[in-house]
């Protein structure tokens, strides 16, 4: 019985880990993601269920994203910014080494 519980726990934990993907990105200028203005620097992005959370130390912000697949793999990770209301906002994130494109909603 204990072995079954342990196996079930490992299966559920593995599925939870597999569901979320984590990527590293670098901002070279101030940009807004969700409702948070981010300073230049290195960030980690976790994507799960059409939601992205970006983190650096104590700074954290989340936003809805649409995950799309490009025709070819991106060579490097890049961020597409747009100027909205006088502020630079993250509009898309292209994940290097994959065909994954995150469109920020």
The pLDDT profile of the chain, 105 residues, written as one tens digit per residue, is: 545 544 434 444 444 444 579 999 999 999 999 999 999 999 999 999 899 999 999 999 999 999 999 999 999 999 999 998 899 999 999 999 999 999 999
Residue-level pLDDT at 7: 41
Residue-level pLDDT at 18: 45
In Å, the largest CA–CA distance within the chain is 61
CA 98 to chain centre: 13
Measured CA to CA in angstroms, residue 94 lies from 3, 11, 55 at distances of: 42, 30, 17
Indicate the pTM of the whole model: 0.78
Residue-level pLDDT at 54: 97
């Amino acid at each position: 019985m204990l072995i079954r519980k342990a196996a079930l726990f490992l299966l559920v934990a593995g599925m939870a880990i597999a569901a979320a993907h984590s990527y590293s990105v670098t901002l070279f200028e101030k940009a807004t993601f969700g409702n948070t203005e981010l300073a230049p620097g290195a960030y980690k992005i976790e994507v799960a269920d059409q939601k992205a959370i970006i983190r650096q130390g104590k700074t954290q912000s989340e936003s809805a994203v649409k995950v799309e697949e490009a025709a070819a793999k991106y060579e490097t990770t890049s961020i597409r910014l747009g100027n909205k209301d006088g502020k630079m906002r993250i509009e898309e994130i292209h994940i290097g080494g994959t065909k994954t494109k995150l469109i920020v909603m």
